Amino acid sequence: RGPTRAAGLAAKAYVEKVLPVGALVLVKTYKDRREKYGRYLADIFYYNQMQALICLNQELLEAGLVEPSERVSISSKAWITSL
């Protein structure tokens, strides 16, 4: 429903393509301390066909399938280097 439905379906189709059922993923969660409900956020990582670790969040941003939030900054680059 609503004006963002088509964009949401496009993002969903992209995720289904790069992460088939049974794909191995790494999930880094952290608490959003900037908002009053204390929600948890996540950075999602997966290995591509060349066995490179990819941040799905960043990939969706770069593909234009999601919009960045002013409240959230992806900390994945710093986290990847610590693996």
- pTM here is 0.74
pLDDT greater than 50 at residue 7: yes
Q: Are strands 25-31 and 53-55 parallel, antiparallel or unpaired?
A: unpaired
Per-residue pLDDT of 38-63, as tens digits, reads 888 889 999 988 899 999 999 999 99
Q: Are 76 and 62 in contact (CB under 8 A)?
A: no
The DSSP 8-state label assigned to residue 4 in this structure reads T
Report the candidate in 11, 18, 12, 2 with the shortest Cα–Cα distance to residue 64: 11
Q: How far apart, in whole angstroms, are the C-alpha atoms of residue 43 and residue 50?
A: 20
Q: Looking at residue 79, what is its pLDDT? A: 44
